[in-house]
């Protein structure tokens, strides 16, 4: 194929710009034309599409967010929306599409594939919850941002002998809480993929206090419950001078880490290699440090993301 397009969709993630840059530059290097679609699938249906030149992706590799903008667009779940999208792609003479995003975006790419339009998915979400890959673009930056907050919160927690419940994003996945929690020395990590017992959480805090421990940090994944609800339930077991910190969207912004920029560059490069050979209906990932491409329908319908639960066990045994 000779003309491809790229869009970013769903929640933005640091490193998306690096991926757009890689797709654009690699495509131009290989003699293809590249079009950028603004506002994800919403922009696709609206025909908000323009040609990208070499300079359009200059000075972008270090920027957070996505310069193509993003949107949540549930209308693309309808056949009507999907066919309108394909009509726009054809109007611009576009033969293949790169979709960077999370779960919802992948479903959009899968729908295009099912209608016979070649699409390739690149996993871009801070949540790290996409099947077919060990890591997603944005996850590394996000856990480092959470870690910086945990370190800061620890200072004030120690000064006041307080317990902090630090609520982090992740949708239904506990990866962000797990990785940042282990790195930050959290006393407890509460995630959707592992049950927890509030009485044991309270007992651990009390035992720490009795030994003279000054701070207690609990990292809570939003998929379990909100931080304030958790604090209310914890209060039923005693007064632990608890405070709640909801990190929220702060974790979605910021300059991407080196690891995310490299991952994004590898994914973008690979997407063009595939489309150049007219290969669509695939999603790209990294598995055991190898860049892989798997069938998008099979990956979404049969694959499942699993967080590294060995981190959970490890934390239980080294953090108290
Ligand atoms: O999927 C990324 C994510 O940041 C999740 O962690 C979070 O639950 C959700 O998006 C928030 O979505 P929105 O930005 O639409 O509020």
State the closest ligand 1 atom to the C-alpha of 127, by its place in the atom list counted from 1.
Answer: 6
CA 119 to chain CA mean position, Å:
20
Q: What pLDDT was estimated at residue 223?
A: 98
- Rounded to the nearest angstrom, the distance between the alpha carbon of 180 and the centre of ligand 1 is 17
Where is the binding site, in residues?
A: 11, 21-25, 72-73, 102-105, 125-127, 154, 162, 169-171, 185-187, 211, 213-215, 222, 243, 249-252
Our mutation pick for probing the ligand 1 site, out of 127, 138, 178, 246, counting the most ligand atoms within 8 A of Cβ, is 127
CA 25 to chain CA mean position, Å:
23
Our mutation pick for probing the ligand 1 site, out of 9, 171, 174, 224, counting the most ligand atoms within 8 A of Cβ, is 171
State the closest ligand 1 atom to the C-alpha of 102, by its place in the atom list counted from 1.
Answer: 1
Convert the pLDDT of each residue in 202-257 to its tens digit: 999 999 999 999 999 999 999 999 999 999 999 999 999 999 999 999 999 999 99
Token pair belonging to 11: 């929640």
Q: Output the DSSP codes for the chain.
A: --EEEEEE-SS--TTHHHHHHHHHHHHHHTT-EEEEETTHHHHHHHT-EEEE-GGGGTT-TT-SS-TT-----GGGGSHHHHHHHHHHHHHTT--EEEEEESHHHHHHHHHHHHTT--EEEEEB-TT---TT-S--BTHHHHHHHHHHHHHHHHHHHHHHT-EEEEEE--TT--HHHHHHHHHTT-SEEE-TTS---HHHHHHHHHHHHHTT---EEEEEETTT--HHHHHHHHHTT----EEEEE-GGGGG-SPPPHHHHHHHHHHHHHHHHHHHTT--SEEEEEETTEEEEEEHHHHHHH------THHHHHHHHH--
Convert the pLDDT of each residue in 48-86 to its tens digit: 999 999 999 999 999 999 999 999 999 999 999 999 999
Percent residues over pLDDT 90 in the chain? 100
195 DSSP assignment: -
Helix 258-276 to helix 139-160 angle, to the nearest 10 degrees?
160
Q: Is the CB of 171 under 6 A from ligand 1?
A: yes
- Rounded to the nearest angstrom, the distance between the alpha carbon of 33 and the centre of ligand 1 is 32
Q: What pLDDT was estimated at residue 116?
A: 96
Q: What pLDDT was estimated at residue 148?
A: 98
Q: Is the CB of 72 under 6 A from ligand 1?
A: yes
Summary count for the chain: helices (H), strands (E) = 11, 11
Query: The pTM is what?
Result: 0.97
Q: Read off the pLDDT of each residue in 265-279 and give the average, rounded to a whole number.
A: 97
Q: Is the CB of 169 under 6 A from ligand 1?
A: yes
The protein residue with its alpha carbon nearest to ligand 1, atom 13, reads 11
The protein residue with its alpha carbon nearest to ligand 1, atom 12, reads 11
Q: Is the CB of 175 under 6 A from ligand 1?
A: no
Q: Is the CB of 17 under 6 A from ligand 1?
A: no
Convert the pLDDT of each residue in 103-143 to its tens digit: 999 999 999 999 999 999 999 999 999 999 999 999 999 99
- Rounded to the nearest angstrom, the distance between the alpha carbon of 171 and the centre of ligand 1 is 6
Q: What pLDDT was estimated at residue 292?
A: 98
Q: What pLDDT was estimated at residue 163?
A: 98
């Amino acid at each position: 194929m000779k003309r491809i397009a790229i869009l970013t969709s769903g929640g933005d993630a640091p490193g998306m710009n690096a991926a757009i840059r890689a797709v654009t530059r690699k495509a131009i290097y290989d003699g293809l034309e590249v079009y950028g679609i603004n506002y994800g699938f919403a922009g696709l249906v609206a025909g908000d599409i323009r040609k990208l030149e070499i300079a359009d992706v200059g000075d972008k590799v270090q920027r957070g967010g996505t310069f193509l903008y993003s949107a949540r667009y549930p209308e693309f779940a309808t056949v009507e929306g999907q066919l309108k999208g394909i009509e726009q792609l054809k109007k611009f003479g576009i033969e293949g599409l790169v979709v960077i995003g999370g779960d919802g975006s992948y479903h959009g790419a899968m729908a295009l594939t099912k209608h016979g339009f070649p699409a390739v998915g690149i996993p871009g979400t801070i949540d790290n919850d996409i099947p077919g890959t060990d890591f997603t673009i944005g996850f590394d930056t996000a856990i480092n941002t959470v870690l910086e907050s945990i370190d800061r919160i620890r200072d004030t927690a120690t000064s006041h002998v307080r317990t902090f419940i630090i609520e982090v994003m992740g949708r239904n996945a506990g990866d962000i809480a797990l990785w940042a929690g282990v790195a930050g020395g959290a006393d407890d990590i509460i995630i959707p993929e592992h049950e927890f017992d509030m009485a044991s959480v309270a007992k651990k805090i009390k035992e720490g206090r009795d030994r003279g421990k000054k701070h207690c940090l609990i990292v809570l994944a939003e998929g379990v419950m909100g931080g304030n609800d958790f604090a209310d339930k914890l209060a039923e077991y005693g007064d632990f001078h608890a405070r709640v910190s909801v990190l929220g969207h702060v974790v979605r912004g910021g300059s991407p880490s080196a690891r995310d920029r490299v991952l994004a560059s590898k994914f973008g490069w690979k997407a063009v290699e595939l489309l150049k050979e007219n290969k669509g209906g695939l999603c790209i990932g990294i598995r055991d440090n190898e860049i892989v491409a798997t069938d998008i329908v099979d990956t979404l319908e049969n694959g499942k993301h699993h967080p590294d639960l060995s981190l959970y066990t490890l934390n239980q045994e080294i953090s108290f």
